[in-house]
Amino acid sequence: MPKNKLADLRDHLFETLEALKDDKDPMDLPRAKAVADVARVIVDTAKVEVDFLRVTDGMKCTDFFPEEAADSAPAGLRASPQRPQQLTAGVRR
């Protein structure tokens, strides 16, 4: 089971934001940018996992998302024969 979950990413991002706002010892901008860049990559991989859930109709779950997230995914997020474009179009922004 992976060590980090999506909630952990949020925690790290909020910690970075708090460190940037620290008046006495603010985090340096290059380091904060590096954190943001890594977070962006993690979010992009989460989008791939959402596509995976669509393709598998939420029947399989990756370890990044909590198991209950796949179980409670709304039908609108799942692929269907009526909406095959979801299988190839990726996550819409």
Structural domain that includes position 69? 6-89
Residue 70 has pLDDT above 50, yes or no: no
Report the C-alpha gap between 54 and 59 in whole angstroms.
Answer: 9
How far is the CA of 10 from the CAs of 3, 4, 19, 21, 81, in angstroms?
14, 11, 14, 17, 35
Q: How far apart are CA 72 and CA 93, in angstroms?
A: 22
pLDDT tens per residue, range 12-56: 999 999 999 999 999 999 999 999 999 999 889 888 888 888 888
| Statement: residue 76 has pLDDT above 70 | no
Domain presence at residue 67: yes
- The number of distinct structural domains making up the chain is 1
The mean per-residue pLDDT over the stretch 74-90 comes to 47
Query: Using CA atoms, how far apart are residues 16 and 5, in angstroms rounded to an integer?
Result: 17
Kindly state whether residue 1 falls inside one of the protein's structural domains. Answer: no
* Mean residue pLDDT across the chain: 75
| pLDDT score of 78 more than 80 | no
- Kindly report the pTM of this predicted structure: 0.57
